[in-house]
Chains A and B, each alone.
Chain A
Amino acid sequence: MDLRHLLFTLALICANDSLSASDDILQRPQISKCRSPEMETFSCFWTAGNFYNLTVPRILQLLYKKSNEEDWKECPDYITSGQNSCYFNASYTSVWTPYCVQLASKKEVYDKKCFSVDEIVLPDPPVHLNWTLLNTSQTGIHGDIQVRWDPPPTADVRKGWITLEYELQYKEVNETKWNELKPRLSTMAPLYSLKTARDYEIRIRSRQRTSEKFGEFSEILYVSFSQIGIGCDHCTEEVEFPWFLVVVFGVCGLAVTVISIMLSKQPRLKMLIFPPVPVPKIKGIDPDLLKKGKLDEVNSILACHDSYKAQLYCDDLWVEFIELDIEDPEEKNRASDTDRLLSEDDLKSHSCLGTKDDDSGRASCCEPDIPETDFSASDTCDATSDSDQFKKATEKEEDLLCLERQDNDESLPDLASTDPQHQHRNTESENSSVWAPFEDSVESPHLSVHTQISNQNSLTSTDFYAQVSDITPAGRVVLSPGQKSKLGRAQREGCTEQNFTMDNTYFCEADVKKCIAVTSQEENEPRVQEQGYNEDGYFTTESLTTTVANLGAPTAAAPSSEMPVADYTSIHIVQSPQGLVLNATALPVPDKEFNVSCGYVSTDQLNKIMP
């Protein structure tokens, strides 16, 4: 047993030895670095490696060559820089010349490096570090110091041959991480807010200004405030910012402020800080009406209203309308109203009959031509209507409806296609408060707009409502005169598929009539205004006139004489939000022939058409 043990351990030792011997990886001799401390001399260092047996002396040579030379020369000084080094003094150094050095023995070259001296500058560390106290804080806990040093003695900074940059690092004695200051050119640096109770260490290193690599660090400078007698004995307590207190007090203060604002009686302040949340409101309609559920009143208001966004209400209105259509007595009532309205000459006075402007909204639809839905109510709209709403509600390419005339019985609204057609109607004589419910065709493709005028030939009995021929961009409703009998209107055909303007508006030549400009509303200045119609009831749309102007002369020749104008056209298809296609049903035309094509009619032609 003992022998085996002994042999085993011997074997282990041998294995260990051999292993450790072969652990030495064969390392080539190689040049570790070449360095110039001041751009006047340089040295190259290498590692010998373990290529050869230790017994045989290795003969390594460093050969160098300048770029413009052919021969390799041997290192001039192997000693000055230490072992395994080669020192080139000033006479051998040319700064911006490329050098190549190679480490070789007689047999082979082990390593080679090429460089130029300006690239290998690594300055020596600064010397003579010292510090002085600048000032201390009032409590004596913190202090500022100024650190000064001298540039490395080898670097000739005074003659400007080399420009150095310094980086200072400091830390507390028992810390591990160094704080760095930005590299600076000057040989002094202040350090602020050092704790007087602690000791600090400072070290500095330098580099050539345009290089990236720093040289070695200087010796460490120790800063101790107690040495100069300003150490603070009781300064161990560290005053930290009382975050907790700040947060608590801040929250309390904020809460108190908010509560005081909310409870304050100052409405302005409250409005400023807590602005009221806008509640949905329809302009011109008293919200109380909505609350109390007086649908009739609301409907009436909405009927007068320019912007018909509430489909719901419109539908209701339609329903009402349909019902009323059947009942004759209502029509007569209507007629009387219409008569009353029509007989009024002075349209400029926007005072509706006996209405006051209150917030119920009823009185705020100011256009007298806008019909009332509420038959029972006698108050018409105030003249000062919300044309603005029209403006806002309607866009440039609103649909102007060429509403085909329909019989009285036909009261159902058709969904129109997107072929808006204009009908300019001569509304000089009509001041009828016709009811023209319609939806903003731009907003909704679903147009259930349909205004029917009862028999257009009968002046008195059918003028419950007038046909809305179009909506001005200003927000006005252009109505076709319900009664054309005064003027001998004839019906016109609607437009079939027609050329569309770029605005999606086009005129039905047949149905083109001049619209009477509104006088009261400043926003509306259509050209037709100049025609001298001063009836307020019907307005030409600005877009109409402009479009007409833009389109130039209408292609289709307008009938020379006055053409009968259909009051309304049934809406055939609703193509898109922008347009309606109206049925171009042939209307009974007493004595005219119509041009079916729907071209564009200029204002002049309109004038011709109009009586």
Chain B
Amino acid sequence: ASTEGTLICLLLVALLVSHMLLTKEGVTSLPICPKGSVSCQLSLEELFDRAVKLSHYIHFLSSEIFNEFDERYAQGRGFIAKAVNSCHTASLTTPEDKEQAQQIHHEDLLNLILGVLRSWNDPLIHLASEVQRIKEAPETILWKAVEIEEQNKRLLEGMEKIVGRVHSGVVENDIYTPWDGLPSLQLADEDSRLFAFYNLLHCLRRDSHKIDNYLKVLKCRLIHDNNC
């Protein structure tokens, strides 16, 4: 019995040690703020950290889904040649180069980011549902579409929190462009329908890259004082 006891003890110790080691490496656990708790507040740095992580993840997924879609459906259809397209968010005047990004006020930039994210809310929902109707759509594309839609929602929430912290005045909610591309995703002609998807995914990749970039610029500017 004593040997068994010692064995159990050793096992427990081993488990404990391994748990400690595992939780130390790699996983940077973000502090958990229980909902509704007033006193618990994430610092702005942490909020930006999370936002940048999310935006990077969304852009990564968007790139992948675009590449997969391109490989699978767009080859030989000459979509690229027609890709001089306009995204539905083109009406939002966002900074197009570093100069403009440096010069724009951070509140305006935050509002712009919010506007782009809101404008993508609707298309992403429909993308996730319509992409299931593409015949023989690979599973990876399907789950990525769903994942992007979910993460976009989370990023939107995070951004609203950040805006709430950073904004001194009234939060503007009017930056938004509606999306009317749903019929094009439901066209009967397969070629046209796939082209619509291609365009949408191309726009998604571009806009997610924009948002990722703007957030990083803002983070370096506000948190690290331009010294990332």
A160 adjacent to B228 (CB under 8 Å):
yes
B210, CB-defined interface residue at 8 Å = yes
Interface check B102, CB cutoff 8 A: yes
- Residue-by-residue, is A82-103 near B (CB-CB < 8 Å gives 1, otherwise 0)? 0000000010011111101000
Provide the bound-state CA to CA distance between A68 and B87, in Å.
12
Q: Is the interface of A mostly helix, strand, loop or mixed?
A: loop
Contact at B97–A40, with CB atoms within 8 Å?
Answer: yes
Across the two chains, which residue of chain A brings its CB closest to B82? A114
Min C-beta distance of A76 to chain B, whole Å: 15
Check: A106 CB closer than 8 A to any chain B CB.
no
Residues of B within 8 A of A100 (CB): 84
A152 to chain B, nearest CB (A): 15
Give a binary string over B216-228; 1 marks a CB under 8 Å from any A CB, 0 the rest.
1111110000111
B101 within 8 A of A: yes
A93 to B226, CA, bound (A): 23
A190 nearest CB across to chain B (Å): 15
The 8 closest A-B pairs by CB, nearest first: A160-B220, A94-B96, A160-B216, A67-B84, A160-B217, A160-B228, A161-B98, A98-B84
Given A159-B98, A161-B217: A118 touches B226 (CB 8 Å cut-off):
no
B176 on the interface (CB 8 Å rule)? Answer: no
Complex contacts, A53 vs chain B, CB 8 Å:
none
Question: CB distance B226 to A158 under 8 Å?
Answer: yes
- Contact of A94 with B56 at beta-carbon distance under 8 Å, contacts A67-B84, A159-B226 already known: no
CB of B206 within 8 Å of the partner chain: yes
Interface residue from A94, A98, A159, A163 paired with B97 (Cβ < 8 Å) = A94
Residue of A nearest to B96 (CB): A94
Q: A118-B206, A158-B227 are in contact. List 16 more A-B contacts (CB 8 A).
A: A96-B96, A96-B209, A96-B210, A98-B85, A114-B80, A114-B81, A114-B83, A158-B226, A159-B98, A159-B220, A159-B228, A160-B219, A161-B101, A163-B216, A210-B60, A210-B212
Inter-subunit contact A40/B206 (CB<8 Å):
no
Known contacts A159-B228, A210-B63: A97-B209 contact under CB 8 Å: no
The chain B residues found within 8 Å of chain A, CB to CB, are: 56, 59-60, 63, 80-81, 83-86, 94, 96-99, 101-102, 206, 209-210, 212-213, 216-221, 226-228
- Tell whether A116 is near chain B: CB-to-CB under 8 Å: yes
Tell me the smallest distance from the CB of A84 to a CB of chain B, in Å. 24
A157 interfacial contact with B, CB 8 Å: yes
Please give me the residue from chain A that is nearest to B62 by CB atom. Answer: A210
**Are A114 and B84 in touch, CB under 8 angstroms?**
yes
Contacts of B226 in A (CB 8 A): 158-159
* A210→B59 contact, CB < 8 A: yes
User: Is A148 interfacial (CB 8 A cutoff)?
Assistant: no
Closest to B63 in A: A210
B-side contacts of A39, CB under 8 Å: 98
| CB <8 Å contact, B98 and A90 | yes
Bound together, the chains give a CA A45 to CA B30 distance in angstroms of 46
**Chain A contacts of B227 at CB under 8 A?**
158
Q: Which residues of the other chain, A, contact B96 by a CB distance below 8 angstroms?
A: 94-97
- Residues from chain B with a CB closer than 8 A to the CB of A156 are 98
By a CB distance below 8 angstroms, the chain A residues around B221 are 159-160
Are A161 and B83 touching (Cβ within 8 A)? no
Is B98 a contact partner of A40 (Cβ separation < 8 A)? yes
Interface size on A, as a range, is 20 to 34
Q: Does the CB pair A158–B228 fall under 8 Å?
A: yes
Q: Which residues of A have CB within 8 Å of B206? A: 96, 116, 118
Nearest CB of chain A from residue B218's CB, rounded to whole Å: 8
Note all chain A residues with C-beta closer than 8 A to B97. 40, 90, 93-95
Rounded to whole Å, the gap between the CB of A128 and the closest CB of chain B is 18
Contact B209 A118 (CB under 8 A): yes
State in angstroms the CA–CA spacing of A93 and B99 once bound together. Answer: 11
Tell me if B220 and A158 are in contact (CB < 8 A). yes
Q: Which residues of B contact A161 (CB under 8 A)?
A: 98, 101, 213, 216-217
A356 interfacial contact with B, CB 8 Å: no
Q: Which residue of A lies closest to B219 (CB)?
A: A160
Q: A158-B226, A160-B228 are in contact. Are A210 and B209 (CB under 8 A)?
A: yes
Q: In the complex, A95 Cα to B101 Cα: how many Å?
A: 11
Asked if A209 is at the interface of the complex by the 8 Å CB criterion, the answer is yes
Bound together, the chains give a CA A262 to CA B86 distance in angstroms of: 83
Give Cα distance in the complex from A209 to B80, angstroms. Answer: 24
CB-defined contacts of B210 to chain A, threshold 8 Å = 96
Q: Chain A residues with Cβ under 8 A from B83's Cβ?
A: 98, 114
The 8 A CB mask of A151-180 against B (1 = contact, 0 = none) is: 000001111110100000000000000000
User: Could you tell me the distance in whole angstroms from the C-beta of B140 to the nearest C-beta in chain A?
Assistant: 17
* A163 contact set on B, CB distance < 8 A: 216
The distance in angstroms between the C-alpha atoms of A95 and B209, with both chains bound, is 10
Q: List 15 A-B contacts (CB under 8 A).
A: A39-B98, A90-B98, A95-B97, A96-B210, A97-B96, A114-B83, A118-B206, A118-B209, A156-B98, A158-B226, A158-B228, A159-B98, A160-B221, A160-B228, A161-B98
Interfacial chain A residues near B85, Cβ < 8 Å: 67, 98
Bound complex: CA A97 to CA B60 (Å): 20
Chain B residues closer than 8 Å to A210, beta-carbon distance: 56, 59-60, 63, 209, 212
CA of A181 to CA of B191, assembled, Å: 43
Shortest beta-carbon distance from A213 to chain B in Å: 12
Residues in A96-130 with C-beta less than 8 Å from chain B: 96-98, 100, 114, 116, 118
Q: What is the CA–CA distance of A209 and B94 in the complex, to the nearest angstrom?
A: 22
Q: How far is the CA of A160 from the CA of B85 in the complex (A)?
A: 28
* A68 to B90 alpha-carbon distance, docked (Å): 10
- Cβ of B116 to closest chain A Cβ, rounded Å: 11
Q: Given the complex, which residues of A lie within 8 Å of B81, measured CB to CB?
A: 114
Per the bound structure, the CA–CA distance linking A100 and B85 in Å amounts to: 12
Residues of the B chain whose Cβ atoms lie less than 8 Å from the Cβ of A157? 228
A174 CB to nearest B CB, Å: 35
Q: How far is the CB of A420 from chain B (nearest CB, A)?
A: 50
Residue of B nearest to A98 (CB): B84
